[in-house]
């Protein structure tokens, strides 16, 4: 082969390679499979469901009724065989059927909150029918729900009552209420405590007081000292002055304001005063 | 459905602790509000210092002022009191009236005239909220000395409520200055720690410096330039007698007594160096404690008399050293930037107060005898010459204001660095020394 011929062969091979690569790139990406349109729930804004309230515990044996009520009802299963083609697959109208029976159920069912509330949006629907978004209705819904949502976690009185009635009296339970009690006592007594700005010894002392409290929050007699740390033979005077500041703090801020229904938990309290973290 | 609450209870049951426990780690550090109503008297009898009723008012006023000056108490305004204290109330107060004005402690008492012309002051302290008596004591004294009874009552209250010993029944001696800076007239003066009962001890004709009390309260030692000879003198307060200490040919200065009052320690210059000497007062025996180099001065005993802290420039600049009372074991304890001088050992023995010189300022500081824990308490132009209160809690010093003709006056500060206040004197004042608690 001459040089010219070999050059021509090489150039042709380059062109072929170039062509193949260019075409190959276009054919490498596989075609996307055709997508089904995702079903979109169209919910009218006026029907925004309220924030779910945890159910109130009640003593009625309600669930049994639900079981009987839904058994003879074949209509709820009927929408199931036709899921996709149905133009209105919204769960809201579905729920309307079993709704009257589900009302008295107190079992916590967080996945289906709409079931409990579709009744309320229904009458309101009639009013804002011409408008899609009624800011007033929305704001009243929201305003009602927010304060309730705040109060709910602390209001354990109903739960506490029912549990207390069903359990022996000596059992101490409900650590959530205990934690808030501790915080309530601390927030009332701490501002009244003037620790002595005494010598270095005082910073290392602590004192544990025992209080008996009456129902109205007042302290019975004088708080007794359970124990005191950091006391040596040399700082007995400081120790006495320190213990007295703790007693004074409790007596100054009595009567304490604490929830009456939890009186059994706070009728006897121990308070530990520790100034080591104060500057 | 009884099982459901039971199940819930089992899930969230806490260990059955009978009593809940609250931890309080912070309070409000503020002066304790106290009420000091006028002291009662069964019947107003005239004494050489006024009627007992008038004395009752004044005693309460002095006690309230003492407690307020410590920075740890806040006496309530008498205008806010809802009741006065009758003689019967002194031993059985109506606590409800004091609770309504939020007083936490009540100091009350009575003044009675004695047949011999003196007075008895009864002092009672109560905790208002727990309605219990904290302390009581009676003080018998001449009518003219009523202030001392008031100070002793304030000391009783202070020590009962803080745990510290008191310091209100004590005196301060200092150098009263007047005149232009080039021709200063300096006189020794003594007064109660609250500024009352002020009187001059010398007439100002000779320059006097660094007066210090003896432990027995009755004598002072100081340095005077009388007859152009800088020497140490001892002054007896009662009689006014002044006596030169030793007949040394050289300049001697910076005298201090030992805690037992039997030894005087001071500096003397000789052959180009200044060294510390101690003189046994009874036997008049002189012993040399340091042997140069440089200037060794400002000696101060520890409260147990075993060690002496002093100032020396042997390292090139003034620094603070400690040594044993016999002169052995001389150790430098002040380091860091600047110089340090005028050390004074606290009556509690735990700290040494001194003047830190540096950065264009003189500042009062405290340091532990081992040299650690240095803390500066003041931050003005020129604060120097510290002296301790009898309970080792308050430091008195003198401050020179910046500028030409800057005033010089006495200030005190609490060991924590708080409650800095001025002690008022008739004229300019310097070189203060605080007496021990009067017996």
A267 to chain B: closest CA residue: B19
Per mean pLDDT, which of A36-40, A85-89, B184-188 is the most reliable?
B184-188
User: Rounded to a whole number, what is the distance in Å from the CA of B83 to chain A's nearest CA?
Assistant: 20
The 10 Å CB-count burial string (b at 16+, else e) for B217-239 is: bebbbbbbebeeebbbbbbebee
In a domain, A263, yes or no: yes
User: Rounded to a whole number, what is the distance in Å from the CA of A29 to chain B's nearest CA?
Assistant: 57
Per mean pLDDT, which of A10-24, A76-90, A218-232, B371-385 is the most reliable?
B371-385
In a domain, A61, yes or no: no
Per-residue pLDDT averaged across B181-187, rounded? 88
Model confidence over A237-270: pLDDT tens digits?
Answer: 888 888 998 999 999 888 888 888 888 888 899 9
The pLDDT, as a whole number, for residue A108 is 41
In a domain, A248, yes or no: yes
Per-residue pLDDT averaged across A232-241, rounded? 83
In a domain, A15, yes or no: no
Partner-chain contact B130 A248, CB within 8 Å? yes
A184 to chain B: closest CA residue: B22
The pLDDT, as a whole number, for residue B267 is 94
CB A124 within 8 A of CB A137: yes
The pLDDT, as a whole number, for residue B298 is 95
ipTM: 0.79
Backbone angles phi, psi at B46, to 5 degrees: -80, 135
B159 to chain A: closest CA residue: A237
Chain A residues within 8 A of B16 when measuring between CB atoms: 170-172
Q: Which helix (H) or strand (E) holds B255?
A: strand B252-257
Mapped onto helix, strand or coil, the DSSP state of residue B234 is strand
User: Rounded to a whole number, what is the distance in Å from the CA of A202 to chain B's nearest CA?
Assistant: 10
* β partners of residue B138: B122
Query: What is the CATH number for A198?
Result: 3.30.1150.10
Is the backbone peptide bond immediately before A186 cis, with ω within 30 degrees of 0? no
- What's the pLDDT band for A122 if we cut at 50, 70, 90? very low
- Mean pLDDT, all residues of chain B: 90
B14 closest CB neighbour out of A175, A244, A278 = A175
Nearest to residue B263, comparing CAs of B169, B331, B327? B327
In a domain, A59, yes or no: no
B8 closest CB neighbour out of A163, A185, A248 = A163
The Cα B39–Cα B53 span in angstroms is 8
**Residue B333 predicted with pLDDT over 50:** yes
The pLDDT, as a whole number, for residue B143 is 92
Chain B residues within 8 A of A268 when measuring between CB atoms: 18-19
The pLDDT, as a whole number, for residue A231 is 85
Backbone dihedral region of B195: left (phi > 0), alpha (psi from -120 to 50 degrees) or beta?
left
Which tokens go with B15? 């260990």
Per-residue pLDDT averaged across B333-341, rounded? 93
First CA to last CA distance, chain B: 80
Interface test with B, best of A104, A166, A277 (most B CBs within 10 A): A166
The pLDDT, as a whole number, for residue A26 is 64
- What's the pLDDT band for A20 if we cut at 50, 70, 90? confident
Which tokens go with B90? 């002194």
Model confidence over B206-219: pLDDT tens digits?
Answer: 999 999 999 987 88
Half-sphere exposure of B372 (CA within 13 A, CB side): 1
Residue B29 touches partner A, C-beta closer than 8 Å? yes
Model confidence over B221-244: pLDDT tens digits?
Answer: 999 988 888 899 999 988 888 888
Model confidence over A95-107: pLDDT tens digits?
Answer: 344 444 444 444 4
Chain A residues within 8 A of B104 when measuring between CB atoms: 194, 248, 252
B159 closest CB neighbour out of A189, A222, A237 = A237
B15 to chain A: closest CA residue: A172
Chain A residues within 8 A of B162 when measuring between CB atoms: 196, 198, 238, 241
User: Rounded to a whole number, what is the distance in Å from the CA of B104 to chain A's nearest CA?
Assistant: 8
The pLDDT, as a whole number, for residue B107 is 95
In a domain, A63, yes or no: no
The 10 Å CB-count burial string (b at 16+, else e) for B164-201 is: bbbbbbbbbbbbbbeeeeeeeebbbbbbbbbbeeeeeb
The pLDDT, as a whole number, for residue A76 is 41
In a domain, A94, yes or no: no
| Number of domains present in the structure of chain A | 1
Backbone angles phi, psi at A190, to 5 degrees: -60, -40
- Say how far residue B95 (Cα) sits from the centre of its chain: 33
Catalogue all structural domains in chain B, each as residue range(s) with its CATH number.
32-162 (3.40.50.10070), 171-434 (2.120.10.30)
Domain around A201? 175-277
Mapped onto helix, strand or coil, the DSSP state of residue A123 is helix
Chain B residues within 8 A of A195 when measuring between CB atoms: 27, 29
Per-residue pLDDT averaged across A168-183, rounded? 68
Size of interface A-B (CB pairs under 8 A): 139
Model confidence over B273-321: pLDDT tens digits?
Answer: 999 999 998 898 999 999 978 899 999 999 999 999 999 999 999 999 9
In a domain, A219, yes or no: yes
Partner-chain contact B130 A252, CB within 8 Å? no
């Amino acid at each position: 082969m001459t040089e010219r011929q070999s050059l021509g062969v090489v150039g042709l091979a380059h062109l072929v390679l170039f062509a193949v690569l260019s075409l190959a790139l276009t054919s490498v990406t596989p075609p996307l499979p055709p997508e089904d349109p995702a079903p979109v729930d169209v919910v009218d804004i006026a029907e925004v469901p309220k924030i779910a309230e945890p159910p109130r515990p009640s003593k009625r044996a309600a669930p049994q009724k639900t079981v009987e009520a839904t058994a003879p009802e074949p209509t709820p299963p009927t929408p199931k065989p036709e899921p996709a083609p149905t133009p209105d697959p919204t769960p809201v109208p579905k729920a309307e059927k079993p709704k009257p029976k589900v009302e008295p159920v107190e079992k916590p069912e967080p996945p289906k909150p709409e079931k409990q509330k579709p009744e309320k949006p229904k009458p309101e629907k009639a009013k804002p029918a011409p408008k899609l978004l009624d800011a007033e209705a929305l704001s009243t819904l929201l305003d009602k729900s927010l304060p309730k949502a705040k109060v709910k976690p602390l209001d354990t009185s109903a739960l506490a009552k029912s549990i207390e009635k069903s359990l022996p009296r000596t059992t101490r339970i409900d650590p959530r209420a205990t934690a808030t009690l501790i915080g309530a006592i601390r927030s009332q007594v701490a501002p009244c405590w003037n620790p002595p700005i005494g010598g270095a010894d005082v910073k290392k002392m602590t004192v544990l007081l025992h209080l008996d409290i009456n129902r109205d929050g007042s302290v019975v007699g004088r708080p007794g000292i359970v124990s005191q740390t950091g006391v040596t033979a040399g700082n007995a005077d400081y120790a006495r002055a320190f213990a007295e500041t703790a007693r004074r703090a409790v007596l100054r801020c009595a009567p304490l304001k604490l929830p009456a229904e939890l009186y059994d938990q706070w009728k006897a309290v121990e308070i530990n005063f520790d100034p080591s973290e104060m500057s | 459905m009884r099982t459901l609450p039971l199940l819930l209870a089992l899930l969230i049951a806490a260990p059955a602790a009978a009593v809940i426990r609250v931890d309080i780690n912070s309070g409000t550090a503020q002066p304790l509000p106290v009420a000091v109503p006028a002291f009662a008297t069964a019947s107003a009898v005239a004494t050489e210092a006024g009627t007992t009723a008038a004395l009752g008012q004044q005693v309460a006023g002095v006690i309230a002022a003492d407690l307020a000056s410590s920075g740890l108490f806040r006496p309530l305004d008498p205008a806010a009191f809802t009741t006065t204290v009758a003689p019967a109330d002194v031993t059985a107060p109506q606590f409800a009236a004091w609770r309504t004005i939020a007083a936490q402690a009540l100091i009350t008492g009575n003044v009675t005239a004695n047949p011999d012309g003196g007075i008895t002051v009864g002092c009672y302290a109560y905790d208002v909220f727990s309605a219990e008596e904290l302390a009581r004591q009676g003080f018998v004294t001449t009518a003219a000395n009523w202030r001392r009874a008031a100070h002793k009552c304030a000391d009783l209250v202070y020590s009962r409520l803080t745990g510290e010993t008191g310091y209100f029944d004590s005196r301060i001696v200092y150098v009263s200055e007047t005149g232009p800076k080039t021709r200063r007239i300096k006189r020794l003066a003594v007064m109660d720690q609250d500024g009352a009962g002020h009187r001059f001890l010398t007439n100002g004709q000779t320059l006097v410096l660094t007066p210090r009390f003896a432990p027995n309260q009755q004598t002072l030692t100081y340095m005077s330039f009388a007859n152009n000879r800088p020497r140490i003198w001892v002054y007896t307060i009662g009689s006014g007698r002044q006596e030169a200490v030793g007949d040394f040919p050289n300049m001697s200065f910076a005298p201090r007594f030992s805690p037992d009052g039997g030894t005087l320690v001071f500096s003397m210059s000789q052959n180009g160096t200044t060294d510390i000497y101690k003189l046994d007062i009874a036997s008049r025996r002189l012993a040399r404690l340091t042997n140069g180099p440089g200037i060794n001065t400002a000696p101060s005993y520890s409260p147990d008399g075993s060690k002496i802290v002093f100032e020396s420039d042997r390292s090139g600049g003034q620094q603070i050293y400690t040594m044993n009372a016999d002169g052995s074991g001389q150790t430098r304890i002040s380091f860091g930037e600047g110089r340090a001088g005028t050390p004074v050992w606290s009556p509690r023995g735990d700290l040494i107060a001194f003047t830190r010189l540096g950065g264009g300022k003189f500042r009062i500081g405290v340091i532990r005898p081992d040299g650690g824990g240095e803390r500066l308490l003041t931050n003005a132009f020129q604060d120097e010459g510290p002296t301790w209160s009898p309970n080792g809690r308050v430091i008195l010093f003198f401050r020179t204001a910046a500028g030409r003709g800057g005033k010089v006056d006495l200030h005190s500060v609490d060991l924590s660095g708080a409650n800095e206040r001025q002690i008022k004197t008739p004229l300019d004042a310097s070189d203060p020394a605080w007496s021990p608690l009067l017996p």
